[in-house]
Amino acid sequence: MRIKKTLLLTILFLTTKLIFSQTDGCGAGSTLLTPGAVGAACAPVAGSTTAAFTDSNLGCTAGNENDDGFFKFIATATSHTITIDGAANFDAVIGAYNTCGGTQPTGGTCVDVTAGNGIETLSLSGLTIGNTYFISVHDFVAPAGGGFGDFTICITTPAAAPANDLCAGAITTACAGTYTGSTATATSASDPSALCGVTPAGNGVWYVFAGDGNVITASLCGSSYDTELNLYSGSCAGLTCIDGNDDFCGTSSEVTFPTSIGYNYYIFVNGFGGATGSYTLAITCAAAASPTAADCSGATTVCTDASFVGSSTGAGNVADLNTNNDGCLGGENQSSWYYFAATTTGTISLNITPSAADDYDFAIWGPGTIACPPIGAPIRCSWAIGTGITGLTTAESPQTTEGMFGNSFVDAIYATAGDQYVLVVDNYTGSFSPFTLDWTLTAGATLGCTPLPVELLSFNAIVNSNKVDISWATASELNNDYFSVERSKDGIVFEEVLRVDGAGNSTSIINYFEVDYHPIVGVSYYRLKQRDFNSVVIYSSIVPVRYQPNGNFGFSLFPNPGEAKDIKIELTAAKGQNILVVVRDIAGREFYSKVFVTETDGNKIEAIDTENTLAPGIYMVTASSNDAFYSQKLVIKK
C-alpha cells in the first residue's frame, strides 16, 4: 500500500512539473504556437495559468504579474497579430518579447484594454521571419480574488498591405484610366489626418496624376463601401491639400480639379469613419475652358511699376479658388488676375483704389514657379470690410493676412531678384466698377515681365520600328533658350534624353523633330521641358508610349484639334499587321471601331470619320495590336 501511495505521489509530482515547465517560465519550455496562414481566421488554442506559476519579472506589471505563463512562436511573416480571449474568471494582460531578456518588438508593449474578461490584441510588426518570439499572459486580478484561470489564444497573419499603401508607392494614373482595388488590408502608416475638403480616416491607398493642363475628374462612384477621397499636390514629403469629397454619388466620392503642367497630384482613396472595401477609381480628362482675364491661367502680365486701371467683372471659366488655397478670401466673386516678377531685390508695396464705393479684396501667391490654380495659401491676403483703399505697406509688418475686421492693409513683400508672384483682385461688392493699382517700389526693387516664353501647339512621341519619333511645334517663342526631351519609367521621375536649341524669339510656327534611338521596353512616358534665358521652366503634357521590340507600331491623329470630317489617322506598322482602332468619348461610349491591316511596311493614312458622325467634344482614340496598346486624346471642333 505504501509503495502504491509513493508511486501515485511521484506521478502527480511529475505531472505537475510537466505542466509547469510548458507555460510557467520564459524559455525553451514555453508552449509553442503556430501562426495561421496569411489572411486566415483566428484558430484559438486553449490555455490557462495556475496558482503555482511564478513571477517572471519581465516588466509586464499591469495588475498581478505574479502568476504569468508563457507561449512562444516562430515568425512566418514580418507582421503577426496575437489575440487572447479570457474566460469569465480571467482578465488577461498580454505582452510580447524578442527574447526572455525583456526587449519588446514593435507593438509588443503589454496591454490590458478591456475591463474584466474580454479580448486583448497585440499587433506586432517589424518581425524577422524565422526568429522565435515569446508571449506572456497573466491575470490582472490579485491572487486573493483570482490570479489565474482559463483563456484562448491565437496568432494570425494579416494579409499584405496593397502596393500603393504608402504615398511613396502611389500608382500612376492617366486619362481614361480605370483602377480597381481594395483597402481591406491597407494600413494607416503615414496616412494624412488633417482636414482636406473632408477629414481623411486613414487605411487608404494612393494614386498620382501628372498635371497636363486638363481638367481632371477622379471618381469612386459605384464603389462597394462608403468612400472618401482627398486630393493633394506637391510631393509625398510635403503634401499640400487641394480638395476632398465624401458622398458625391450615394456613399461614393468624386473630385474635379484643373491641373498645371509640371505638378503632380496625389489622390488618397480611403473610407468614411475608417470603412474599407473594394473600389473603382475612374480618371477622366477634359480640356480646360479657354481662360479669361478673370482666370489665373489668363492673367495679365505686369511688366513695369506704372499704375494701371483694372476691373473685376466675373469669376471666369475656371474655379481657381477653394477652401485650400483662398486664404482669407472665402472664395472668388468678381476677380481679375495678374502675374508680376521682381527683376531686382527690394520691397514691393501697392495700393488698390476703387473708383466707386466698392469692397475690393486681394491675395498674392509666391514666390516661385507660377501655378494655376494657385497651390497652397497666399503669402499676403486682405478680406477687410470697407470700400476704401486696400494694399501692401511696410507699416503693417509683420502682419501678412487679415479677415473682415482688418484695416485693409497687410505687410509689403520683401522680394529677391527673380521671384515670381500671382495676384488676384476680387470685387466683393460685385458692382463691375474699376479700380486703379499703384506700385511703390523701395530698397532697389524693380518689376519685369513674366510672359510664358513658348506657345506650344503640339507634342507627340510615336514608336517607329525600333525607335521613338518625337515631334513638337510652337506658334511663337520668346526669349527661348532650349528644349529638353525627358523620359520616365513611371511618369514621375524623368531624365533628359536629348536637348535642342530654341529659336530665341519667333512669331511664326516652327516644327521640331528628334528621335530616341534607345527607348525603354514596355510603357514609358515622354514630356517636353522648355527653358528660357531667365531660367524660367515650363513643361508640356506627358505622352505615354508602349515600345515592343518585335511587332511594334505607332499612330498619330491630324489635324488635332480639327473638324470630324477632316480627322485622319496615320499608322506606322510592319506588313500584314492587324491594328484595332477604337474611338470613345470620355464617358467610355464607343463611336467608331475598325481593324486596319497594313499591306506594306511603312505608313498607312486613313480617315476615321468619313460620315462626319462625331459631335464636337473630347474623345479617346486607342490603337492595339498583339500586346501593344496606345491611346491619344482627340478634340473635335465645332
Q: What is the average pLDDT score of the chain? A: 83
Given a cut of 50, whether residue 2 has pLDDT beyond it is no
Q: What is the pLDDT of residue 11?
A: 35
553 — pLDDT class (breaks 50, 70, 90): low
Given a cut of 80, whether residue 551 has pLDDT beyond it is no
Cell numbers standing for residue 420: 515670381
Q: What is the pLDDT of residue 14?
A: 35
Digit-coded pLDDT (tens) for 513-522: 999 988 887 7
Q: Residue 150 and residue 153: Cα distance in Å, rounded?
A: 10
The four Cα atoms 165, 170, 174, 178 give a dihedral, to 10 degrees, of -10
CATH 3.40.190.10 corresponds to the domain 20-156: no
For the chain, give every domain's residue range.
20-156, 167-286, 296-448, 454-547, 554-636
Q: What is the pLDDT of residue 4?
A: 37
User: Percentage of residues in the chain with pLDDT exceeding 90?
Assistant: 32
296-448: CATH class: mainly beta
> Which fold would CATH assign to domain 167-286?
Jelly Rolls (2.60.120)
Given a cut of 50, whether residue 218 has pLDDT beyond it is yes
Do 64 and 143 form a contact (C-beta atoms < 8 A)?
Answer: yes
Given a cut of 50, whether residue 177 has pLDDT beyond it is yes
Q: What is the pLDDT of residue 146?
A: 52
Query: In this structure, what are the phi and psi dihedrals at residue 535, rounded to the nearest 5 degrees?
Result: 70, 15
Lowest-confidence segment of 89-93, 375-379, 413-417 by average pLDDT: 89-93
Place of cell 467610355: 588
- Of 592, 601, 552, 554, which is closest to residue 574 (Cα–Cα)? 601
Digit-coded pLDDT (tens) for 336-367: 999 998 989 999 999 999 998 899 999 999 99
Digit-coded pLDDT (tens) for 290-310: 677 788 877 888 888 999 998
Q: What is the pLDDT of residue 18?
A: 33
Digit-coded pLDDT (tens) for 63-104: 666 677 889 999 998 889 999 998 877 888 888 999 887 788
Which whole number is the average pLDDT over 493-503? 88
Which whole number is the average pLDDT over 183-202? 85
Do 619 and 586 form a contact (C-beta atoms < 8 A)?
Answer: yes
Q: What is the pLDDT of residue 549?
A: 61
Given a cut of 60, whether residue 39 has pLDDT beyond it is yes
Lowest-confidence segment of 77-86, 88-97, 378-387, 423-432 by average pLDDT: 88-97
Q: What is the pLDDT of residue 418?
A: 83
Do 106 and 119 form a contact (C-beta atoms < 8 A)?
Answer: no
183 — pLDDT class (breaks 50, 70, 90): very high
Which whole number is the average pLDDT over 102-131? 84
Quick check: bond before 258 cis, omega within 30?
no
Q: What is the pLDDT of residue 292?
A: 77
pLDDT greater at residue 77 or residue 558: 77
CATH 3.40.50.300 corresponds to the domain 454-547: no
Given a cut of 70, whether residue 499 has pLDDT beyond it is yes
Lowest-confidence segment of 19-23, 174-178, 219-223 by average pLDDT: 19-23
CATH 2.60.40.3080 corresponds to the domain 554-636: yes
Q: What is the pLDDT of residue 283?
A: 94
Angle (CA) 247 198 324, round 5°: 125
Task: Name the range with the highest mean pLDDT among 1-10, 131-140, 391-400.
Answer: 391-400
Q: Which long-range contacts (CB under 8 A, 24 or more apart) does 412-416 make?
A: 412/347, 412/348, 412/349, 413/347, 413/348, 413/349, 413/364, 413/379, 413/380, 414/346, 414/347, 414/348, 415/342, 415/345, 415/346, 415/347, 415/348, 415/367, 415/445, 416/342, 416/345, 416/367
Given a cut of 90, whether residue 267 has pLDDT beyond it is yes
Where do the DSSP E strands lie in 199-307? 205-210, 215-219, 227-235, 238-246, 254-258, 264-271, 278-286, 300-301
Lowest-confidence segment of 389-393, 403-407, 541-545, 577-581 by average pLDDT: 541-545
Which whole number is the average pLDDT over 410-426? 93
pLDDT greater at residue 631 or residue 93: 93
The reply to whether 20-156 and 554-636 are identical in fold is no
Q: What is the pLDDT of residue 439?
A: 96
Local structure of 494: helix, strand or coil: strand
Q: What is the pLDDT of residue 363?
A: 97
